[in-house]
Structure 1
Amino acid sequence: MDLYLPIANLSVNALLIVGLGGIVGLLSGMFGVGGGFLTTPLLIFYGIPPMVAAASAASQVTGSSISGVYSHLSRDTVDLRMGGVMVAGGLVGTLLGAAIFSVLQRIGQIDTVIALLYVLMLGSIGLMMAQESIGALVAMKRGQPAPARRRRHHPLVAALPMRWRFYASGLYISPLAPFILGIVSGILTMLLGIGGGFVLVPAMLYILGMQTQVVIGTSLFQILFVTMATTMVHSLTTKAVDLVLAFLLLLGSVTGAQIGTRLSMKVRPEYLRVVLAFIVLVVAIRMALGLGWRPDEIYTLDIL
């Protein structure tokens, strides 16, 4: 069933887009990470313009984050003070990201930059995940316990001035650290359409040293508001948000996430991490190859 996307300016198979959203939701539910980091590359592989793919993926992440935030709030696993500081930083990052997006769009390099950032980000994170997960598997096969993670914030965070107490996270650190982290997340969300959780969660654990039980909820809280702001900014500036595309993706991802959550309960987490690392690396390699492939049509005409 073909459906015309007014902003992307092309016709797509609606069932295929719903299925793509379902795959992303399935992975999200299985691995406990937001699917935004895979949505944009998969849309680009399908033929959606990178600018529209990034903007619409952010809209989808907003919709899929609402139920998660509500669930974590009801379980009191959100550090609202930490989340508020990160949201403030994320809003600043969104505005900075919009300015960068506008400059890159004006010089005609936005598509290339999006692809390059994805290759660098997914490649580096995928390699780190593969190293850690394979090490955990080897230790499990040998019957050795996995090394416990020491919860301590980074020395650079300790050097920042003006400390606040974040009781839910068990921290006494400068608010500048989560604020800067929020700025980085906002810029990435604006440029790439990712929710940011893929970057935020490790940073909150290993840089800020937050308690594990509040990391996911606080990350989702920040993602919800930053993706809302990103969608609004994209709508007013780039006008690249395709609501029809976002709705189809959301329709599939909600169903896929439920199935993925059930599957995750039947598979050991060590194996899940290895599979996720493999998927991330495959997407990064495919994006890298796409940067070097010669297109079938070198020149295209865009009628405005």
Structure 2
Amino acid sequence: MDIYLPIAGLSVNILIIIGLGGVVGILSGMFGVGGGFLVTPLLIFYGIPPSVAVASSATQITGTSVSGVLAYMQRGAVDVRMGLVLVAGGILGSIGGGFVFRWLQKGGQIDTVVALLYVLLLGTIGGYMAKEALQTILASRRGHQMPFQRRRHHPAVAALPMRWRFYGSGLYISPIAPFALGLVSGVLTVLLGVGGGFFVVPAMIYVLGMATGMVVGTSLFQILFVTAATTLVHAVTTKSVDIVLAILLLIGSVTGAQLGARIAARISPEWLRLMLATIVLLVALRMALGLGWRPDEIYSVQAG
């Protein structure tokens, strides 16, 4: 059962695209990530042009995040004040990222830049998360009690001025730090079609010192608004949003997000981090291999 995508300019199997959306939705609900770091490469592997995959993924993540945020707000696991600061930085970053995306698109370098950023960011973040999760799991199996380390914000964050109290997270830090994280997240959302969660979630834990239980819902909260802004940026500047593709992905992902939130409640945080790290590293490896593989056709002709 195929359907034609008007912006991508090709036909795709409806069930495969909906299935991809479902997988992304589960990841969103489990880990607090928008899932774009997975669905964008998969769409590219499937044959969707990178620019269309990036822009349409951001559109779909907006809908997925609505479902996930509602599930976590019902459990009181969203720090709204922290989320709003992240959103402010993310919206500004998405606007700036839109100009960068358009500049790279005009220069014909967007495909290479997207692949390199995926390899560098996912490889680094995934490796760090996997190392910590494995240490905790192995220590537990050997009967050794890992020394308790209360999550504290990074010393650089402590040096920033103008502290605020974030009651939901139990933090007393400067809003400059989460604003900066949101800014980077916004740029990544535009350039890579990701919600930024794969970057923001580890940063909120290891840089801001937030408790793991509050991180997922707060991350989804900021992803919701940032991806909505990113969708508008792409629609106005790059004109690469394929609404048919986004709707197909959304059909599967909304249901998947609710399922993912229920699964996450039954799994320990260490195993959740290890699972997310494994997925991140596998995607990074596949993108790295793609950069080195010789294509079947070295040259191609495409109507502009």
CA distance in 2, matches of 1:69, 1:264: 14
Residue in 1 aligned with 2:8? 8
- Structure 1 distance, partners of 2:215, 2:27, is 19
Task: Indicate how the Cα distance of structure 1 residues 291 and 145 shifts in structure 2: closer, same or farther if over 3 A, else same.
Answer: same
CA-atom RMSD in angstroms: 2.1
Change (3 A) 1:156 1:275: closer
Aligned position for 1:173? 173
Deviations for 1:62-106, whole angstroms, at most 9, x for unmatched residues? 001112223333444332222222111111101111111111111
Deviation, 1:261, is 5.0
In structure 2, what is the equivalent of residue 139 of structure 1? Answer: 139
The 10-residue stretch of structure 1 (12-21 or 228-237) with the greater mean CA deviation from structure 2: 12-21
SS at match of 2:12: strand
CA–CA separation in structure 2 for the residues paired with 1:70 and 1:271: 24
* Residues 163 and 174 in structure 2, CA contact (< 8 A), matched pair in contact too: yes
Aligned to 2:80: 80
- The answer to whether structure 1 residue 232 and structure 2 residue 228 are counterparts is no
Q: Matched residues in 2 for 1:39 and 1:146: separation?
A: 35
Q: Please give the alpha-carbon distance, in whole angstroms, between the structure 1 residues aligned to 2:273 and 2:156.
A: 29
TM-score, normalising length: structure 2:
0.92
| Paired residue type of 2:164 | W
SS for the counterpart of 2:11 is: strand
Question: Which residue pairs with 2:256 in the alignment?
Answer: 256
**Cα distance per residue 1:15-68 (max 9 Å; x no partner):** 111122223334444555432211111111111111111111111110011122
Q: 1:152 matched to which residue of 2? A: 152
Equivalent residue runs for 1:259-270 within 5 Å = 259-261=259-261, 270=270
Q: Which moved more, 1:65-74 or 1:83-92?
A: 65-74
Partner SS state of residue 281, structure 2: helix
Q: Within 5 Å, which residues of 2 pair with 1:1-304? A: 1-31=1-31, 33-261=33-261, 270-304=270-304
SS at match of 1:11: strand
Distance 1:158 1:192 in 2: 30
Which amino acid counterpart does residue 227 of structure 1 have in structure 2? T
Flag structure 1 segments of 5+ consecutive residues without an equivalent.
none
Which TM-score applies when normalising by structure 1?
0.92
Count of aligned pairs: 304
Letter in 2 for 1:161: P
Q: Aligned to 2:4, what secondary structure does the other structure show? A: strand
| Offset of residue 258 of structure 1 | 4.5
Q: For 2:66, give the aligned amino acid.
A: I
Displacement of 1:193: 1.0
Letter aligned with residue 236 of structure 2:
L
Shift of 1:245: 0.8
Distance (whole Å) between structure 1 residues aligned to residue 276 and residue 208 of structure 2:
24
Q: Against the structure 1 CA distance between its residues 73 and 138, is the aligned structure 2 distance closer, same or farther, given a 3 Å change threshold?
A: closer
**Among the aligned pairs, what percent are the same residue?**
67
After superposition, give the CA deviation of every residue in 1:85-129 in whole Å (9 maximum; x if it has no partner).
211111110111111111111111011100111111111122112
Deviation at 1:279, TM superposition (A): 2.6
Q: Distance in 1 between matches of 2:92 and 2:268?
A: 39
Code of the aligned partner of 1:53: A
Alpha-carbon offset, residue 164 of structure 1: 2.2
- Once residues 182 and 203 of structure 2 are traced to their aligned partners in structure 1, the CA distance between those partners, rounded to angstroms, is 11
Q: Which residue identity is paired with 2:136? A: A
Q: Which amino acid in 1 is paired with 2:59?
A: S
Please say which of residues 109-118 and 279-288 is displaced more in the overlay: 279-288
Q: Please state whether the residue corresponding to 1:65 is helix, strand or coil.
A: helix
Q: What is the CA distance between 1:256 and its match in structure 2? A: 3.4
Q: Which moved more, 1:139-148 or 1:173-182?
A: 139-148
* 1:202-241 residue CA offsets vs partner (Å, 9 max, x unmatched): 2112211234443222222111110000000000110111
The Cα of 1:12 is off from its aligned counterpart by 0.8
Q: In structure 2, list runs of 5 or more residues that go unmatched.
A: none
Aligned residues of 2:32 and 2:215 also touching (Cα < 8 A): no
User: Structure 1 CA distance, aligned partners of 2:218 and 2:263?
Assistant: 25
Corresponding letter in the other structure for 1:70: L
CA deviation after TM superposition for structure 1 residue 243, in Å? 1.1
